[in-house]
Amino acid sequence: MDFAACFLAPGRRITLPHKRWRVAMTVIYSCRTICTLAKKKLSAVLRSPSYVLLDIDGADHQSETPVFDVDAEVLSTVVKEKKLDDLHRLGGVSMLAGRLACHAEAGIAGGIGDLRRRQEVFGSNTYPKPKPKGFFWFVYEALNDFFLLILIACAVVSLGFGIKEHGIKDGWYDGASIFLAIFLVAVVSSISNFRQMKRFDKLAGECSNIHANVIRDGRRQDVSIFDIVVGDIVFLKIGDQVPADGLFLEGHSLQVDESSMTGECHPIDVDAQKNPFLTSGVKVVDGYARMLVTAVGMDTTWGEMMSTITRETTEPTPLQERLQKLTSSIGKIGIAVAVLVFAVLMIRYFTGSTTDENGRPKFDRRKVTADGVISAIVEIFQQAVTIIVVAIPEGLPLAVTLTLAFSMKRMMKDHALVRRLSACETMGSVTTICTDKTGTLTLNQMMVTTFWVGEERVERGGAASIDGRILRFIHQGVGLNTTGSVYRPNSVSEPEITGSPTEKALLSWALELGMDVEELKRSCDIVHVEAFNSEKKRSGVLVKENGRAATIAHWKGAAEMILARCSNYIETNGMIREMDAEKRRMFDLIIKDMAACSLRCIAFACKESEAEDVRKLDDERLTLLGLVGLKDPCRPKARSAIQACRSAGAAVKMITGDNVFTARAIAAECGILRDDDLDGLVIEGEEFRNYSIEKRLEMVDRIRVMARSSPFDKLLMVQSLKQKGHVVAVTGDGTNDAPALKEADVGLSMGIQGTEVAKESSDIIIMDDNFDTVVTVMRWGRCVYTNIQKFLQFQLTVNIAALVINFVSAVASGEVPLTTVQLLWVNLIMDTMGALALATDRPTKELMQKPPVGRTEPLISNIMWRNITAQALFQIAVLLVFQFAGKSIFGASEKINNTMIFNTFVLCQVFNEFNARKLEKKNVFEGIHRNQLFLGIIAVTLILQVMMVELLKRFADTERLDWGQWGICAGIAAISWPIAWIVKCIHVSTTPVSDLLALCKVF
């Protein structure tokens, strides 16, 4: 360059060689300029969205393979250890964005090749999960039961003595049969538990798959947290979870909660100068920002921590804990009966009262052998242990697991994602639902329908009548004071608007008024931002226009809140007028009229300041720019859903931030307020907050709508209802709803508009934000409880009958009618197959026509005791007749008679499964065609029972039965149906049995 300058210096005489040099340099510089311009033009074309790029066979292009000028390990360490000096040495956040092939405004390219390259270099935003429990672990756990281990030991002894006494050809049957029966029970139970674990893990994965808002190729889009890559620009707002480690790029008033990482609950300020570091897993509690992702997956502290955590899916729910106590109590009774049976059989054996098939005493002192005595004792002990195995209702916890897993799967299809199992059970007991308005009772499809400037209503398309200065201020108040965005690929394309429904509606309306977002951003600088606050119910932005020293403070929010801070208003011609008392009343009336039409009222106001160094937003003596009314229609099914809640005995209360008039209009439209509801109250949150504790508890049941409520008011409402004994469900979508969601018995967050903080605090996520889905969840909650009661009734009937029959037979005859293998088969029918059949019934209409189940209401109701008693007495009577008189009545041998006892007992359980389907209704077959699983299990049970009797004689110790004998067994078992019908005609008291017994003691 110096050499060229020497020749081209002004004033120097140009010789011929010099001329040639000059021409050469001119050509060189011209070529260089042309190349530079060509590159710029080409770059502009490539960035333009008006072209069409065809990717043949998915081939990656060179432009999609970025080059990174930074070390991944160094980059992740800077953020992990928050090394500000190292960040400066790397050139700061802006320089890092360039090194990561990322544009601060347009983001990364986002093509397939680009994403693949970033994942290859920096890794994916996932972490290796601990290896889940395998199937054989569940088999081992099932076989690890204490009493099953005793039976296995007995089977080993029985096998040894059987082979020794009868030889290996015939002596292995008894021991091997017990082994096979135990293994069958364990495997069937393990298959069920293994499948439920897989299902729970899948649902847990759904919970962790949250979405983040990023910008790629200039376009904002939602992507899964697992698809975030290093270099992504992520948009953060209140309630979001930071999806990866990163650096603060741009934003205002950003505060994060790092308690999940550090345990400190105080919010941490994040800014560009002092603390630009953002850690994966923390929650945004205030402000908004854009962050540059610098590390993902295992390169983050969150990833390292989560990879070491094992998700436990077997945490017992309250209902399971109650059933465990019941199981323990029944088990103690079973052990007592087994000990008595063992003692009686031992006494009868050693006294010679027990006889063999030929009528000779089994214990003969003259011919006794040690092997024979040990074998007999082991057989008696084995029978006693089998009684314990059958008596202990181990299927109860399994039934809860099955019904919860089935319900969760079905609820997922019904747009409800269960995060905590206990919520399924509790939802059936809910007596009060505190619900949001926007998006839950309404469609959350906002649209501006009314616009007032001063005293004039501006019709749609009437922007020409408004002064240009007013439009400029409106454009600034909407386009700059927003968390939404507008993306327009080109001048002829429709704009893509992102943000909350309110923001989208306002931005769409402003675009109709001629707002140019790009021009607006170029012409103004944002000095300071105050994010929307649920207490103040407004947001503000301080703007400085280019070329002007003055600053403008723009405010928007709840109309009455903004109006209270206005001292002036502007007319359509641009004239500013003072707002006197009469004009204020007029604006109040306009707001009330819009609210009475179910419109959400939002006001815009501003204040100009000539001072140059203003850095704080002023919210006093504002000038009212205009009022807008947004319409959000009620959901079509909201009214019927609220009526369903009323029929089910669950009150619905609407808690909203809107003013009283809007809230009242929506509540009336949805059916929360009715003409016949004379006691229903509509109050403001401040009024409720200022009540005394006694007054609050007195009024809380009467309140139907609470308007202008703060998060504290919502929490106070939940606490008051719980103090009154209500079981409370709460819906919420914002970060400020988290305390109420946690305090409620069941927290229901919104899947579409809900923040990650709200979802994390909830028990169930309503995926479609629809109140009708809340009612569906309640229906499933009641179904869970009812299904458990059905199975409990069925199993207790079998337990009582088996215990009484074995005890009476042992005492009276010295023998138990059912062998170990037969009892284990009955146990399999009860525990696993019965649970599958009865615990998977779907909700019925009558479930929502009963009052909710109380917190302390006994699991076994009086109706269930009535049904259990009738069926158990019938089975005991029939089988004892078989035991003591069956041979003479039917003229059958002892082996056939014992087979008929076993067959009848099993068939009684099959018929009683139908009775258990309906606890109160006489028609037990109603809706049975819709439960294909139930019918399939009944069919499988019958087929296996036929095989046990007819084919597996040696295994089950049975004899083949003829058609007549099968008919007798089935006919006797079928009598349980008319007995159930007759018994259900008997009225029973609603007072729990325990209370009746306590009352008897008093008298």
Residue with more model confidence, 660 or 172:
660
Confidence bin at 307 (pLDDT 50/70/90)? low
Residue with more model confidence, 361 or 914:
914
CA distance 267 to 740: 19
Q: What is the pLDDT of residue 306?
A: 65
CA distance 858 to 319: 11
Of 557-566, 888-897, 954-963, which one has max mean pLDDT?
A: 557-566
Q: Which amino acid is at 77?
A: T
State the catalytic residue, choosing from 145, 299, 436, 713.
436
Give φ, ψ of 752 to 5 degrees: -90, -55
Q: What is the pLDDT of residue 260?
A: 65
Find residue 545's DSSP bridge partners: 524
Q: What is the mean pLDDT of residues 401-411?
A: 81
Q: What is the mean pLDDT of residues 64-93?
A: 84
- Of the candidate ranges 184-188, 663-667, 900-904, the one whose mean pLDDT is the lowest: 184-188
By the 10 Å C-beta count (0-12 exposed, 13-18 middle, 19+ buried), 904 is classed as buried
Q: Which three-class secondary structure state does DSSP give residue 353?
A: coil
Residue 432 has pLDDT above 60, yes or no: yes
Q: What is the mean pLDDT of residues 229-233?
A: 93
Q: What is the mean pLDDT of residues 418-442?
A: 88
pLDDT in tens, 129-147: 767 788 888 888 878 877 6
Q: What is the pLDDT of residue 55?
A: 40
CA distance 329 to 324: 9
Confidence bin at 358 (pLDDT 50/70/90)? low
- The DSSP code sequence of 750-793 is ETTT--HHHHHH-SEEETT--HHHHHHHHHHHHHHHHHHHHHHH
The residue to which tokens 């505060």 are assigned: 255
Tokens linked to 68: 């990174």
Q: What is the pLDDT of residue 246?
A: 92
**Residue 81 CA: distances (Å) to CA of 74, 296, 797:** 11, 15, 64
CA distance 933 to 925: 14
Residue 38 has pLDDT above 60, yes or no: no
Q: What is the mean pLDDT of residues 259-269?
A: 71
Question: Who's near 3: CB < 8 A, 6+ residues apart?
Answer: none
Confidence bin at 866 (pLDDT 50/70/90)? very high
By the 10 Å C-beta count (0-12 exposed, 13-18 middle, 19+ buried), 175 is classed as buried
Q: What is the pLDDT of residue 678?
A: 63
Alpha helices (H) along 123-250: 135-143, 146-170, 173-208
Of 203-212, 377-386, 520-529, 824-833, which one has max mean pLDDT?
A: 520-529
pLDDT in tens, 538-549: 999 999 988 888
**Residue 71 CA: distances (Å) to CA of 5, 110, 321:** 41, 21, 53
Tokens linked to 879: 């089988």
Q: What is the pLDDT of residue 857?
A: 77
Q: What is the pLDDT of residue 10?
A: 40
* Closest to 605 (Cα-Cα) out of 565, 570, 554: 554
CA distance 741 to 348: 64
CA distance 874 to 883: 14
Residue with more model confidence, 330 or 525:
525
Q: What is the pLDDT of residue 21?
A: 47
Residue 59 has pLDDT above 60, yes or no: no
Q: Is 957 left (phi over 0), alpha (psi -120 to 50) or beta?
A: left
Confidence bin at 461 (pLDDT 50/70/90)? confident
**Residue 699 CA: distances (Å) to CA of 50, 579, 720, 721:** 62, 38, 10, 10
Q: What is the mean pLDDT of residues 515-525?
A: 90
Of 478-492, 827-841, 918-932, which one has max mean pLDDT?
A: 918-932
CB 441, CB 771: distance < 8 Å: yes
Packing angle, helices 660-670 and 581-596, rounded to 10? 20
Packing angle, helices 976-983 and 963-974, rounded to 10? 10
pLDDT in tens, 705-746: 999 888 899 999 999 999 998 999 999 988 788 889 999 999
Q: 289-310 burial string, b = 16+ CB within 10 Å, else e?
A: bbbbbbbbbbbbbbbeebeeee
HSE on the CB side for 478, CA within 13 Å?
A: 30
Packing angle, helices 318-350 and 771-813, rounded to 10? 10
Q: How many CB atoms lie within 10 A of CB 357?
A: 8
Q: In the chain, how many H helices and how many E strands?
A: 37, 26
CA distance 664 to 385: 66
The residue to which tokens 């026509």 are assigned: 849
Q: Which three-class secondary structure state does DSSP give residue 911?
A: helix
**Residue 125 CA: distances (Å) to CA of 117, 119, 242, 291, 755:** 14, 8, 12, 16, 20
Find residue 256's DSSP bridge partners: 268, 284
Q: What is the pLDDT of residue 29?
A: 45
Residue 42 has pLDDT above 60, yes or no: no
Q: What is the mean pLDDT of residues 152-163?
A: 76
Tokens linked to 436: 């949001």
Q: What is the pLDDT of residue 165?
A: 66
Residue 657 has pLDDT above 70, yes or no: yes
Q: What is the pLDDT of residue 333?
A: 85
Q: What is the mean pLDDT of residues 487-510?
A: 85
Q: What is the mean pLDDT of residues 666-692?
A: 87
- Of the candidate ranges 11-25, 327-341, 603-617, the one whose mean pLDDT is the lowest: 11-25
**What average pLDDT does the chain have?**
82
658 is catalytic: no
CA distance 83 to 715: 40
Confidence bin at 278 (pLDDT 50/70/90)? very high
pLDDT in tens, 782-808: 998 898 889 889 988 988 888 888 888
